[in-house]
Amino acid sequence: MTGSDERWVDEAHSRRAVLAGTIGAGLTIGAGCLTSSTDSSENATPISIALEADPTADSWDTYGYVTPYFTSVVEPLVWASESMEPNPWLATDWEAIDETTWEFTLREDVRFHNGETMTAEDVVWSFERLFERGDFVYGWLHLTPENVVAVDDHTVEFETTDPFAAFPGTIAHNMVCVQHPESTDDELGTIGTGPLQVDSVDRGTAVETTPFDDYWGDPIEESLTFEVVDDPMTRALSLESSDVDVIFNPPRGEIESMRDDSDLTVLSQQSPRTLFVPCNLYRAPTDDRTLRRALNYAVSQSELVDTVLEGVDGPARGPISPAVGWGAHDELPSYDRDRDRARQLVDDSAYDGEELLFAVDSDIVNGELIAESVAGAFSTIGVETELRVIDGASYGDFVQEGNAHLGLRTSGSNSAAADYIMFENFHSEGIRNVQLYDAEGTGLYNPGETVDELIETAYQSRDETVTDEAYRAAQVHIMDEAVCIPISYLSYTVATRAGVDGIDLHPIDKMVDWSDITRGGR
């Protein structure tokens, strides 16, 4: 999951802030129980938004086969601000009662799309439903189902499994949303509280939404259709031919020409995500820090960004994006490309000419091309690799069993709190490491006790300064040990027809604000 953050609770342990492709055939599902949409959007052609992934995929079964991302149909208790801080949303306030207990106060004016008022029992039901998605939820939220309790109609109590100051920011995530219990009926699609309601679901193709008249906050005036167009070039061609109005992430090689097209508008936003090559610290020869440092000195991030990555991203120095508040980019050791030094380090290391298995997640856009460029850099210092592209569904298991020396992966946060990306990647009990740590006392990318303690200090502390310093110190240690070869801090791109205005990008692409979107003509 999968991970900015949140310094969250002030000295009183309370946060009170001011709210201010082509369309194929499929099964069309009408949400007939929903209230009527605004008159202004009736009979108008919806604004069409082409996404990279299917918004009706089987993986969204617990949301009525409608993705909680992008669509503004469901909402969490807490929202992530553009500065990646937790903001009140369906909850107006929260307070830490003790080290592990949080009390959230709910808005009293929130209605579901079926007209019923949201209560604390709906929140409890929604968390119970979320836990059905898998065991990863327990570690991610530091919660168990029995520890989410409705105190009264507008108060919910959460008891975390351990001190977890980042809890409010962690649940500022689209997946941690509130649904009406009738959302269990797949034929209806999800029933949420958002400014858009589901009008129909065409499985494998699109979700059609209309404005919700009784929305508690700033309304969205336009009907929006979220389509899946998974091929980047097809998305670009669909936009250029006016078949769609908005696309996410056109081909990187097409972005400059799209910027020069007066009929199009191109917007870019740095995200809290990083592309990097993690090294297996417990498999020879990458268990040798000297070799890992050599691999770092072999790579020019700037050259990779300017060539393979088409200049879209920023060169990375560490595994955490500067979009995350405690990202330590400026404090990290710099491994500027120095092939002579790299070759000397290889000579000084335990490397003996063997091929390093370099596993590439097939879901990474241009991942094989990126990995080939990185492997080419390694070859210039005398280190050979075997590239193996692994299907995205199998990549995690393959790598977490310790089969690879090197990987290519992205990691980042989809919530206000980015704590989990440090924990999952670099703590011994994080999801990337725990399988081998429990079985053999090793892991993958966990440098050991020092980093474990720093991460624990950071996510448990209610002192912003302590959290910040601990996470920064952990990143310095990680890069001093050359745990990974950073590649780039990722950005995302949204392109529109020139007549489309009012899109408010967010560091988290899944939280783009459609409140002011308009279309002048098509």
Identical fold between 14-224 and 271-491: no
Using DSSP's 3-state secondary structure scheme, residue 421 falls into: helix
Token pair 């790299």 is at which residue? 342
Q: Does domain 271-491 have CATH number 3.40.50.2300?
A: no
Half-sphere exposure of 130 (CA within 13 A, CB side): 28
Q: Is 206 in contact with 115 (CB distance < 8 Å)?
A: no
pLDDT band at 182 (very low <50, low <70, confident <90, very high): confident
Query: What are residue 150's DSSP bridge partners?
Result: 156
For the segment 449-470, the average pLDDT, to the nearest whole number, is 96
Cα–Cα distance, 30 to 1 (Å, whole number)? 30
Q: For position 139, what pLDDT does the model report?
A: 83
Q: Is 314 in contact with 489 (CB distance < 8 Å)?
A: yes
Please report, for the chain, the start and end positions of each structural domain, with discontinuous segments joined by +: 14-224, 271-491
Give the list of residues 6+ apart from residue 441 with CB closer than 8 angstroms, or none: none
| pLDDT per position as a tens digit, 214-239 | 999 999 999 999 999 999 999 999 99
pLDDT at position 57 over 80: yes
Q: Is 48 in contact with 217 (CB distance < 8 Å)?
A: no
pLDDT band at 188 (very low <50, low <70, confident <90, very high): low
For the segment 495-517, the average pLDDT, to the nearest whole number, is 97
pLDDT band at 183 (very low <50, low <70, confident <90, very high): confident
Cα–Cα distance, 486 to 132 (Å, whole number)? 34
Q: For position 10, what pLDDT does the model report?
A: 30
CATH second-level architecture of 14-224?
A: 3-Layer(aba) Sandwich (3.40)
pLDDT band at 521 (very low <50, low <70, confident <90, very high): low
Q: For position 372, what pLDDT does the model report?
A: 98
For the segment 28-40, the average pLDDT, to the nearest whole number, is 42
| pLDDT per position as a tens digit, 253-282 | 999 999 999 999 999 999 999 999 999 999
pLDDT band at 494 (very low <50, low <70, confident <90, very high): very high
Cα–Cα distance, 85 to 88 (Å, whole number)? 10
Q: For position 29, what pLDDT does the model report?
A: 39
pLDDT > 90 fraction of the chain, expressed in percent and rounded:
86
Q: For position 136, what pLDDT does the model report?
A: 80
- 17-26, 173-182, 444-453, 489-498: segment of lowest average pLDDT: 17-26
pLDDT at position 21 over 80: no
Question: What string of H, E and C letters represents the secondary structure of 171-232?
Answer: CCECCCEECCHHHHCHHHCCCCCCCEEEEEEECCCEEEEEECCCCCCCCCCCCEEEEECCCH
Q: For position 435, what pLDDT does the model report?
A: 96
Q: For position 186, what pLDDT does the model report?
A: 67
Q: Is 5 in contact with 324 (CB distance < 8 Å)?
A: yes
Please state, rounded to an integer, the average pLDDT across all residues of the chain.
Answer: 91
Q: For position 1, what pLDDT does the model report?
A: 42
| pLDDT per position as a tens digit, 358-402 | 999 999 999 999 999 999 999 999 999 999 999 999 999 999 999
CA dihedral 316, 320, 322, 328 (to 10 degrees): -90
For the segment 61-79, the average pLDDT, to the nearest whole number, is 95
Cα–Cα distance, 510 to 505 (Å, whole number)? 9
